[in-house]
Amino acid sequence: MEETFDVIIIGGGVVGCACVFELTSRGYLCLLLEKNEHLAAEASSGNSGMLHTGFDATERLELDCIQRCQARVFPLLDKLGVPVNHIGATHRT
């Protein structure tokens, strides 16, 4: 049986995964294509799992994006049961 998707996303890094999450939460049927065995295995893996607080963001757009992410990521991580260590400068906005 042939499946039809609303959106096909190529690349399972942080951006690709975020796009799939956002679009599927809005009701779109998505297909994520990733060449590696694990998601976020290449460039995205370099962040060491740290979340940025924006304390040194040099441009307003960067700070706005970080703050929007902060407002959404912690409730999502809680919902998914993903453990988070809040240390150092990490804070909820």
Residue-wise pLDDT for 3-26, tens only, equals 899 999 999 988 888 899 889 999
Domain chopping of the chain, boundaries: 1-49, 50-93
Distance CA 30, CA 11 (A): 13
Give residue 10's pLDDT: 96
User: Taking 70 as the threshold, does the pLDDT of residue 48 lie above it?
Assistant: no
Both tokens assigned to 50: 């740290």
The residues, any chain, with a CB within 8 Å of residue 73's CB and separated by 6 or more, are 51
User: 52 catalytic, yes or no?
Assistant: yes
Distance CA 35, CA 11 (A): 7
**Could you read off the pLDDT of 65-76 as tens digits, one per residue?**
777 877 888 888
Burial of 68 (0-12, 13-18, 19+ CB in 10 A): exposed
